[in-house]
Structure 1
Amino acid sequence: MEILDILIIGGGPIGLNCALEAQKNNLTYLVIEKGTIVNSLYNYPLYMRFFSSAEKLEIDGIPFLSAAPKPGRQDALEYYQGIARHREININLYEKVLQVSRTGAVFDIETSKGAYKAKNVIISTGFYDIPNLMNIPGENLPKVKHYYTEPYPYAKQKVVVIGSSNSAVDAALETYRKGADVTMIIRQSAISESVKYWVKPDIENRIAEGSIKAYFNAEAAEITENSVIFKDKNGQISEIENDFVLALTGYLPDFDFLRNSGIELQGDCLNPLYHPETMETNVPDLYLAGVVCGGKDTHLWFIENSRVHAEMIVGNILSKNN
């Protein structure tokens, strides 16, 4: 069996950037992705627009051309998937990595379709796969959605949106404009400051005029077939009629996979242990890249500030070979 120089887990923007860096330095590599190319972006809301401008989303200096000041989901899919095609990135799709273990100086990687060996492994799996569950009764009902794609299914429905992040605010505004009766349940006392600056006044104005109802300092307590029960900061219980719940309470990295790979997790945010100058974890020759580095703090790393990880990692690998 061939022993690769690098096996990259995750075919998102940062995983692709790591592959391009390996290519430039004549290292043998393989990217393994459990879905399609940039699978997380593919699963974003259909009409989502990035906070960043196009040039901040570029990888390997390849121009990202966008007619709009803020590129959208489709622009990003065209850009990143186009790079994978034209640069002939070595990538296996719809293949899930099950286990990473080390035998001597080589990693054994078991997947849903086979097995591989590599001298180095980069985990660049993002955080969009596992919803941050509320763990309340009724959360598993069919009417509860942890992912939002488009507003049309919710026309003329009573929709509860839980959360106040960008995804929650976008879902509330879009479903409201397609005829839904929208109520937001928000744990904080205000809309999150991280919401896109051109969207935040819109949602605040809709709440102020009463077009979208919002309960601040509130938490969902139970979801039933026909209602949502929630409580305020004083413990007072309220119940409202409901058809659908969009529980957009955030997402988490696969911490079990990181632990099983031997990576130490620290603190309340379960921050993975890695060297900030090389991105190497406590497991020698096992690296982290991209959003996964932040643990539960998923607002710490983005495409634009983690693009440098690829060069840092490959540089460290090359320095060990010299």
Structure 2
Amino acid sequence: MVWPYLLLLAVAVGGHLWRRGRRERAHAEQLADALAAGLNEPPTLHPVVDPALCIGSGSCVKVCPEHALGMVNGKATLINASACIGHGACHAACPFDAISLVFGTEKRGLDIPLLKPNFETNVPGLFIAGELGGMGLIRKAAEQGRQAMEAIAVRGQAKAPGDDSELDVVIVGAGPAGLSAGLSAIDKGLRYRIIEQENSLGGSIFHYPRQKVAMTAPVKLALVGHVKFTEVSKEKLLEFWHGVVLKFQLAIHFGERMQAIEQHGDSFVVTTSRGSVKTRSVLLAIGRRGTPRTLDVPGEELPKVAYRLIDPAQYAGQAVLVVGGGDSALEAAIALAETPKTRVTLSYRSEAFSRVKAKNRDQLEQLRGRGRIDVRLRSQVQSISPDAVKLRVDDGSTLSLPNHAVIVCAGGQLPTPLLKDIGIRFETKHGTA
């Protein structure tokens, strides 16, 4: 009577092992493709797995919404490092604490500013919270913004009385750290200004894919109290932040870009794209995406120019130019080409796409073959007008294309040189926390 049950057990175990082996082979192929393309260098905070502690449960792989982790040879492995954004869900899910979150790798160091426990830099009055300071986790970035404002409030009490022209703090960035800091500034009665270079709040969260898991732990916010989020999508989290901004009348100056910070005695002058403001303290709450690299061509200031594709559907039926040669450019062009009636041109200054995922290159070639994407290699944008764009092509001539929108995918520039110029000290991390 026991044999039928043993047979069923053997079939179940055999099926499980077969499926697991198939997944591991697929993950190993992904890792090999990433290594071959030179794309396995993580951009920011990322997991490192201790194989001596990893039991191969796969719990970290299951909770990773970017599919950055996979199982290789029975152990969790970072197989798609370029997709990892460091939210730390894998670390929280590991039952044996086999995952550490670190910055940089042996090959690629990451500059992280040196901060005091209150998040003040070595320059008195200049604070850093969130991703730029080395913290990509949303809840911790929000907590840092709140704690930094505690120190800023104390510093503000030493301000000379009667100086109404000086703010207590300028907060740069409207992501989790900046929004949390703004709430704390209101709570403490500080004169503050939040500037955000983009026209949307949420920082890096705004650029997450749809329905991406954005938070994995509760967080404490001034005025709001404890927010009991465990796992919440990008859309729900942004909806929550919008509600908070409206309820507490959080003043955010969108489309205003920080250009310079100058120290004047115990205060600062922050120069932005809209002028200058004097402030007692500055809190940098910006992500590691930095300021988008621009083309520096006439017409780039037009509202139809964007630096990241958020929703391909909004371009349905339009003529769109995508500029760039990395994965973000290819993925934007592919997504647009799959949108009904959208005419897509991809411009890249080099003669070939290098260091891109094989999957993206193959999809691009398929769509190009079907006439869905017009690929213009060895071309550069010369000028942009309301209804057209001019490209300088490889033979030196100029090509004019009808155009409704331009998506520039040329990466970003961190303000590290600017911060070093005013004396902030950094340390380079090579795979350490």
Normalising by the residue count of structure 2, what TM-score does the alignment of the two structures yield? 0.41
Indicate whether 1:65 and 2:217 are aligned.
no
Q: Kindly state the Cα deviation for residue 201 of structure 1 after the two structures are TM-superposed.
A: 5.8
Q: How many Å separate the matches in 2 of 1:116 and 1:9?
A: 14
Indicate whether 1:163 and 2:324 are aligned.
yes
1:93 aligned residue (252, 255, 262): 252
Indicate whether 1:12 and 2:175 are aligned.
yes
Q: How many Å separate the matches in 1 of 2:237 and 2:366?
A: 30
* 8 Å contact kept, 1:218–1:230: yes
Aligned to 2:306: 146
Q: Kindly state the Cα deviation for residue 140 of structure 1 after the two structures are TM-superposed.
A: 4.6
1:33 aligned residue (185, 191, 194): 194
* 8 Å contact kept, 2:323–2:407: yes
Cα distance change of structure 1 residues 15 and 37 upon mapping to structure 2, 3 Å threshold: farther
Unaligned segments of structure 1, at least 5 residues = 266-271, 280-299, 309-322
Cα distance change of structure 1 residues 162 and 4 upon mapping to structure 2, 3 Å threshold: same
* 8 Å contact kept, 1:12–1:39: no
Deviations 1:20-78 (A, max 9, x none): 9x89xx99867532369993548998x95079753479877964523xxxx44x34413
Indicate whether 1:182 and 2:344 are aligned.
yes
Q: How many Å separate the matches in 1 of 2:302 and 2:198?
A: 28
SS in 2 for 1:175: helix
Aligned residues: 254
Aligned to 2:296: 135
* 8 Å contact kept, 1:231–1:237: yes
Aligned to 1:78: 239
Between the two proteins, what is the percent identity of the paired residues? 15
SS in 1 for 2:322: strand
Q: Kindly state the Cα deviation for residue 246 of structure 1 after the two structures are TM-superposed.
A: 1.0
Map 1:223-234 onto structure 2 (within 5 A): 223=384, 226=388, 228-232=390-394
Normalising by the residue count of structure 1, what TM-score does the alignment of the two structures yield? 0.52
Q: How many Å separate the matches in 2 of 1:167 and 1:133?
A: 15
Aligned to 1:283: none
- Max Rg structure: 2
Q: Which has the higher contact order (CA 8 A, sep 6+)?
A: 1
* 8 Å contact kept, 1:11–1:32: no
1:239 aligned residue (374, 399, 408): 399
* 8 Å contact kept, 1:160–1:242: no
* 8 Å contact kept, 2:172–2:196: no
Cα distance change of structure 1 residues 175 and 99 upon mapping to structure 2, 3 Å threshold: closer
Indicate whether 1:275 and 2:414 are aligned.
no
Cα distance change of structure 1 residues 104 and 186 upon mapping to structure 2, 3 Å threshold: closer
Cα distance change of structure 1 residues 9 and 3 upon mapping to structure 2, 3 Å threshold: same
Deviations 1:166-190 (A, max 9, x none): 6544542343212112121123422
Aligned to 1:311: none
Cα distance change of structure 1 residues 217 and 37 upon mapping to structure 2, 3 Å threshold: closer
Indicate whether 1:123 and 2:287 are aligned.
no
Amino acid in structure 1 at the alignment position of 2:177: I
What is the alpha-carbon root mean square deviation over aligned residues? Answer: 5.6
Cα distance change of structure 1 residues 98 and 59 upon mapping to structure 2, 3 Å threshold: farther
Cα distance change of structure 1 residues 4 and 130 upon mapping to structure 2, 3 Å threshold: same
Q: Kindly state the Cα deviation for residue 161 of structure 1 after the two structures are TM-superposed.
A: 1.7
Aligned to 2:111: none
Unaligned segments of structure 2, at least 5 residues = 1-152, 158-167, 221-226
